[in-house]
Amino acid sequence: MAQDPECIFCKISKGEIPSSKLYEDEKVFAVPDIHPHAPVHLLIIPHEHVPTLNDLPESAFDLIGHVFKVAVELAKRHGVAEQGYKLMHNVNDWGGQRLYHLHFHLLGGKQFGF
């Protein structure tokens, strides 16, 4: 599994930085966002270091389906599945990406506009 020794998400994945992992399996883990934008704001993060969705090899696109499966499980577990939630991903600077390790935001617990 490729990792970047300078990447904060890789350090969390390896346990070098303490975190409150809410979910973990062989492909991904989930932690609360440290700057939440909703009552429920979780990050779903692959263990493998991939800077952006543009860098994900075609052979690994099954990972995205796995992220969605985990998102549904976490939304149910955190009580936001029925009312609704957002699953967001930002790509590169203009797309709002600030940390260059593929990750997805699950936000819920309030009503969102467009």
Q: State residue 5's pLDDT score.
A: 78
pTM: 0.94
pLDDT band, residue 62 (cuts 50/70/90): very high
Active site residue 41: no
The rounded mean pLDDT for the chain is 95
Q: Give how far Cα 69 sits from Cα of 2, 17, 64, 113, Å.
A: 23, 26, 9, 24
Question: Which entry of 47, 78, 103, 105 is annotated as an active-site residue?
Answer: 103
Band of residue 110 on the pLDDT scale cut at 50, 70, 90: very high
Separation in Å, CA 21 to CA 92, 99, 114: 25, 18, 30
pLDDT-derived band at 91 (thresholds 50, 70, 90) equals very high
Phi then psi for residue 24, to 5 deg, are: -160, 140
Q: Take residue 93 and report the two structure tokens written for it.
A: 């600077």
- Taking residues 42-60, report their average pLDDT: 95
